[in-house]
Chain A
Amino acid sequence: MSSLQSLDIAARSATTTPTPQAREHVVEVAKLIDVSSCIGCKACQVACMEWNDLRDEVGHNAGTYDNPRDLTPQSWTVMRYSEVVMPSNEGERLEWLIRKDGCMHCADPGCLKACPAPGAIVKYENGIVDFISEHCIGCGYCVKGCPFDVPRISKKDDKAYKCSLCADRVSVGLEPACVKTCPTGAIRFGSKEDMHEFAAERVVDLKERGYANAGVYDPQGVGGTHVMYVLQHADKPQIYNNLPADPTISPMVSLWKGVTKPLAVAAMIGAALAGFFHYMKVGPIEDEDDDGPGERRATEEETR
């Protein structure tokens, strides 16, 4: 019985039976991050911290603007800064590409596929992938499953944490905190369809300004994502601080969590049953002293 009638669950970790899906006519939401309008001000990081009552520790400056240095259980989104020199119609041009890193909310989430704990990871009907910490057992399988290396396990409580796309705000009809606060409107929120339309407009504008390969990043390798990027150089996503070019769930994970496991369980149960029926059919090899066949032959020899 999910206590969340308004946002039905499309998929649940480690659950072999389908979740309640009668209400599937739900708008799929999406967050669009337009890297070409992002000024890297980190307002989204602060809004996320403040809304979710998270406070990372005050780290060090290691020679870049990236603070905190990486996603952590207390930092669900961080800005990644890369200074690249790209060819442009006026020769070389320095560009400062700043990408908001965080959960991509995949349509086919690797974390959910890898998670062994029932109900620890759920994907709602509107596309949000959320961690239900109360069921999380802290095994770290989600870290193996995620193609974008996003989930982080907290040392304090052994629970996995990541951006929840403000499922609590979205469930009462508000937009996520980072979307609302973004000063330049680089982060937009709405139905995935609308976001694709807006992204297309942005790509047209970017192409006019000399970015021939501008495009939308919505990788189909994971069935499309509910967090999409507009990139000035969509042909080379890796220059955005190694955003994977074609992210898919690792074959190891799909093998590991795919069809092999049920077969293995079946094989084990099968072996036990086979033993049982074999016992029924062939019957045990008795251990009587004298009338066993092998036994008879041996005794005849010595007693002679």
Chain B
Amino acid sequence: MKRTIVRYQDSTRINHWFVALLFVFAGLSGLALFHPSMFFFSNLFGGGSWTRILHPYFGLLMVFGFVFLFLQVWRENIWTRNDTEWIRNSEKLLRGDEEHMPPVGKYNAGQKAVVWVFAVSLLVLLITGFMFWRPWFDGVFPIVLQRVAVLLHALAAFALVLSVIIHVYAAIWVKGSVRAMTRGTVTEGWARRHHPLWYKEMRGEK
């Protein structure tokens, strides 16, 4: 039986999957409105009008959930010089060569970048989303402002979806990562190999 280390508490994982699920709903309903080619997603929510009605609520809930998640992880995601170094070498990592990567703590620079992109884009989505949320905020904001808001909302959504794709792929690409979120534990080898500093730290305590 490989020895495992606990990476995420149960509450964090539930929180993560809550946000992930809502991202799927908000994302799909958002994409339905994003481009005609994906409008058929609106059938998942009971048609165009329901998509337009539900999407803001999904988004709101997602942001609500994300806030808790963010509060738990933001400390480990502060950007350090080490992360810039990691980024510079990430090009090699992509080609599968892990040796030259600097030792990484609980989160490597890629993961940190993803978290921060999530945070910023969700913030923008929240703010601009309110500005053209029909019908509750119909007459509140001038049309000129709403036009800017709609554009920013689309850009932020694009950034969010892109970073989610990267986030999901990274998890699949680095075998053994998914279980961190599904069961909360990782194998010692995984920890030693990918997050040596975090591994030492965990062993130190153990």
Contacts of B42 in A (CB 8 A): 137
Chain B contact residues, majority secondary structure: helix
Tell me, in angstroms, the Cα distance from A144 to B100 when the chains sit together. Answer: 51
Pairwise interchain contact A284-B94, C-beta atoms closer than 8 A: no
Q: Tally chain A residues at the interface, Cβ within 8 Å.
A: 50
* B173 pairs with A284, CB closer than 8 A: yes
Q: How many residues of B contact A (CB 8 A)?
A: 53
Judge whether A153 and B196 touch: CB under 8 Å: no
* A-side contacts of B161, CB under 8 Å: 268
Q: Is the CB of B134 within 8 A of A299?
A: no
Instruction: Let me know if A61 is at the binding interface, CB within 8 A.
Output: no
* Bound complex: CA A260 to CA B143 (Å): 21
Report the Cα distance A55→B177, complex, angstroms: 62
B96 interfacial contact with A, CB 8 Å: yes
Which of B150, B176, B188 counts the most chain A CB atoms within 10 A? B150
The interface centre, meaning the residue of B34, B35, B99, B161 with most chain A CB atoms within 10 A of its CB, is B35
- Interface residues in A18-43 by Cβ distance below 8 A to B read none
**Which one of B33, B169, B192 lies within 8 Å of A295 (CB-CB)?**
B192
> Does any Cβ of A come within 8 Å of B36's Cβ?
yes
With A139-B134, A140-B132, A265-B38 known as contacts, the answer to whether A284 contacts B48 (CB < 8 A) is: no
- CB of A94 within 8 A of chain B? no
Q: Contact between B35 and A262 (Cβ–Cβ < 8 Å)?
A: yes
Q: How far is the CB of A249 from chain B (nearest CB, A)?
A: 10
Q: Does A298 contact B (CB under 8 A)?
A: yes
Q: Report yes or no: B36 in contact with A268, Cβ–Cβ below 8 A.
A: no
Assuming A275-B173, A294-B192, is B154 touching A139 (CB within 8 A)? no
Q: Is the CB of B48 within 8 A of A135?
A: yes
> Which residues of chain B are near A290, meaning CB under 8 Å?
189
Chain B residues whose C-beta falls within 8 Å of the C-beta of A245 in the assembled complex: none
In chain B, residues 36-63, which have Cβ atoms closer than 8 Å to a Cβ of chain A? Answer: 36-39, 42, 47-49, 51-52
Residue A252 is within 8 A (CB to CB) of chain B in the complex = yes
Q: What are 7 A-B contacts with C-beta separation under 8 Å?
A: A118-B36, A137-B51, A143-B143, A143-B146, A265-B34, A289-B188, A295-B189
Top 7 A-B pairs, shortest CB-CB distance: A287-B176, A137-B48, A275-B169, A294-B193, A298-B192, A252-B147, A14-B36
